[in-house]
Amino acid sequence: MAVHYNPITKEPYLQLPAPCTNIIITPYREHQIKEDAHAMTTSLNDPRVYTWLQGPPYPFQPEHGEDWIKTKIQENKAVVAALQNEFENKSQTEDSHQTENNIFDQCPFLCIREVGEDLSGAQDTLIGEIALIRYSFYEIRRNSWELALVQAHNKQLPVGHEDIVWTLGCTIRLSTLYYALTHPTDYLSPTHHGKGIMSRAVQAVIRDWAVPRMNMNHLRGSFVVGNVGSRRVFERNNFEEVGVFKDWLPENPKKSLGKMSIVIMEWKGLL
């Protein structure tokens, strides 16, 4: 079963493969907004994380996190409800082999969480985030008619269309502010770097959700030149480099960062 469910709360989640089975990916939770926002604030103010991210505001404040989480809860409410209905219907029919035919246009599984040893989900900690959205083609010149054309075409394709191009990452909108991202905001707490968690999180999102439940066929991603960890994550998930764009990201004085170059990666299918 690709999507798992907490038997008590009925919360849907993805579980990472061994040896990271104590890591799950869940939707954001209304009863943990402040707790998760605090964890986000800690990670996104760490130079080992924010150096490689273009979009999130810096310094990142708890209210930024709370606003973001509330937005994501609303965006994913319908999908989460549909999945809970699937779970309830299967429980009533006791048919564990029922085919999951519903195709969705978004991924509600954003929160990378570390669960206690009993895997009950009674206690877990937010350690990162992963997002999957329609691709923005940020390698095309900003504010150009070409960019507007391809973005509009990709956005207008119907749910489940095989030509939709997806990307790992997200666009942050906080209150009345708009932070236009030019590469993914996926991140992992530095306390959990170097353990293969993000590689397996990407694998789980692709294999257990994006392919079977979104009919995903095309996926791209990017990282800042010099981010060795992100390159490894992509390569372990069968991505290949398709281009390098020099000085593509603007200066960020608040982070004391000059212009940065990005590498575009393209997914070559399930391994």
Over residues 149-193, the pLDDT tens digits come to 999 999 999 999 999 999 997 554 444 333 443 334 699 999 999
Mean pLDDT, range 41-69, rounded to an integer: 91
Domain regions of the chain by residue span: 4-219
Best CA proximity match to 119, nearest among 8, 1, 2: 8
The model's confidence at residue 53, banded by pLDDT at 50, 70 and 90, is: confident
Over residues 201-221, the pLDDT tens digits come to 999 999 999 999 999 999 999
Tokens found for residue 182: 């030019």
Model pLDDT, residue 232: 97
In this predicted structure, which of 61-75, 104-118, 132-146, 248-262 has the lowest mean pLDDT? 248-262
List Cβ neighbours of 53 (8 Å cut-off, separation of 6 or more): 44, 183, 185, 187
In this predicted structure, which of 119-128, 133-142, 152-161, 248-257 has the lowest mean pLDDT? 119-128
The better pLDDT of the pair 171, 79 is held by 79
87-96, 182-191, 250-259 — most confident range: 250-259
Mean model confidence pLDDT for the chain: 89
Over residues 111-127, the pLDDT tens digits come to 999 998 655 556 899 99
51-55, 119-123, 230-234, 251-255 — most confident range: 230-234
pTM score, two decimals?
A: 0.91
Model pLDDT, residue 153: 98
The better pLDDT of the pair 248, 108 is held by 108
Tokens found for residue 28: 């954001």
- CA 215 → CA 82, 122, 159, 209, distances in Å? 17, 32, 9, 9
3-state secondary structure string across the chain = CCCEECCCCCCEEEECCCCCCCEEEECCCHHHHHHHHHHHHHHHCCHHHHCCCCCCCCCCCHHHHHHHHHHHHHHHHHHHHHHHHHHHHHHHHCCCCCCCCCCCCCCCCCEEEEECCCCCCCCEEEEEECCEEECCCCCCCCCCHHHHHHHHHHHHCCCCCCCCEEEECCCEEECCEEECCCCCCCEECHHHCCCCHHHHHHHHHHHHHHHHHHCCCEEEEEEECCCHHHHHHHHHCCEEEEEEEEEEECCEHHHCECCEEEEEEEECCCC
Q: Contact at 8 Å (CB) between 156 and 150?
A: no
Tokens found for residue 137: 């083609």
Q: Is the pLDDT of residue 54 over 60?
A: yes
Which CATH code fits 4-219? Answer: 3.40.630.30
The model's confidence at residue 82, banded by pLDDT at 50, 70 and 90, is: very high
Best CA proximity match to 58, nearest among 190, 188, 174: 174
